[in-house]
């Protein structure tokens, strides 16, 4: 059986074994990896060096990739860059990647690391909404429920969206909170100005704002447009919750959010959207 014909193992085959591939494809793929890593067009000698091969060996691969549209060669400079097909594949991958699905496998380890319950919140029609929860391993912990909608004004997830991705819809929900809550809230402009710490540190936090003795912290996940698509939130008893912006909980949340952002092909916007 050739490498091309080999089928993936079935349950009857026992534990999965490493499957054979086509070596020439893997070798040529190093050229595409080098282009993606550098993020710019490159001359043949430099591209070949980055891919760990001689220019004479790299050139036939580039000719084939050019025919497929994976790379393009500039007619004036002769430099090689990623082509139309590579762009189309990248866009398709971005469209098919679900930020919640990418985030979910990382949550149990994060909950174990910080010792608090971790939730993923997305923007729903009524505000930030919990869609996945990984319970804390601690004996004493705070529960979050799927479908819970967070307040914009005084929860970590809500304040994160308000600070980093303000929209007219979000502002309208905040105004509704001002009218319905039994405590006075500042006007939107004043509230937005209060969130400068979140924009500066890239993570939001609250201490007992909704429930006495409960603290929370939330970090953003961005998509390829620089749009906030997921808030990864830790919640736990205030007595054991490190709410410092540079503390271990904040660092762990930001590292996980950054890993998901990278997997999505996302980017953090240079400046937060205006309020």
Task: Tell me the torsion sign for CA atoms 254, 255, 256, 259.
Answer: positive
Q: Do 131 and 252 belong to one domain? A: yes
Residue 114 located in a structural domain: yes
Cβ(91)–Cβ(97) under 8 Å?
A: no
Residue 273 located in a structural domain: no
Q: What is the CATH number of the domain that holds 177?
A: 3.30.450.40
Residue 50: give the domain boundaries: 11-96
Q: Kindly report the three-state secondary structure assignment for every residue of 93-105.
A: HHHHCCHHHHHHH
Least confident of 7-16, 33-42, 144-153: 7-16
Nearest to 203 by CA among 247, 153, 160: 160
Q: Dump pLDDT digits (tens) for 128-183.
A: 888 888 887 765 556 667 778 888 888 999 999 999 987 888 888 888 888 887 67
Please state the domain count of the chain: 2
Residue 206 located in a structural domain: yes
Is it the case that residue 262 has pLDDT exceeding 50? yes
d(CA 80, CA 74): 6
Q: Do 136 and 90 belong to one domain? A: no
Q: Which two tokens stand for residue 229?
A: 């698509």
Q: What is the CATH number of the domain that holds 51?
A: 1.10.10.10
Least confident of 117-121, 133-137, 208-212, 265-269: 208-212
Q: Dump pLDDT digits (tens) for 192-241.
A: 998 998 999 999 999 876 676 889 999 999 988 888 999 999 998 888 89
């Amino acid at each position: 059986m050739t490498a091309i014909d080999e089928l993936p193992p079935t349950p009857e085959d026992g534990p999965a074994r490493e499957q054979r591939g086509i070596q020439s494809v893997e070798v040529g793929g190093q050229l595409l990896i080098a282009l993606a890593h550098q993020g710019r067009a490159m001359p043949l000698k430099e591209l070949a060096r980055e891919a760990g091969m001689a220019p004479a060996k790299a050139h036939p691969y580039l000719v084939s990739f050019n025919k497929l549209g994976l790379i393009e060669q500039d007619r004036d400079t002769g430099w090689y860059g990623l082509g139309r097909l590579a762009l189309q594949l990248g866009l398709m991958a971005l469209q098919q990647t679900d930020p919640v699905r990418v985030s979910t496998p990382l949550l149990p380890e994060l909950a174990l690391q910080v010792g608090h319950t971790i939730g993923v919140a997305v923007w729903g029609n009524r505000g930030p909404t919990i869609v996945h929860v990984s319970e804390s391993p601690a004996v004493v912990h705070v529960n979050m429920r799927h479908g819970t909608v967070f307040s914009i004004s005084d929860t970590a997830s809500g304040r994160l969206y308000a600070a980093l991705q303000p929209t007219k819809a979000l502002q309208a929900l905040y105004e509704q909170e001002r009218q319905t809550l039994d405590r006075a809230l500042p006007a939107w402009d004043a509230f937005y100005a209060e969130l400068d710490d979140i924009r500066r540190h890239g993570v939001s936090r609250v201490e007992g704002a909704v429930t006495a003795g409960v603290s929370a912290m939330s970090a953003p996940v961005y998509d390829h447009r620089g749009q906030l698509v997921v808030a990864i939130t830790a919640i736990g008893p205030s007595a054991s919750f490190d709410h410092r912006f540079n503390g271990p909980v904040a660092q762990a949340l930001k590292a996980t959010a950054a890993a998901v952002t990278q997997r999505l092909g996302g980017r953090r916007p240079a400046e937060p959207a205006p309020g």
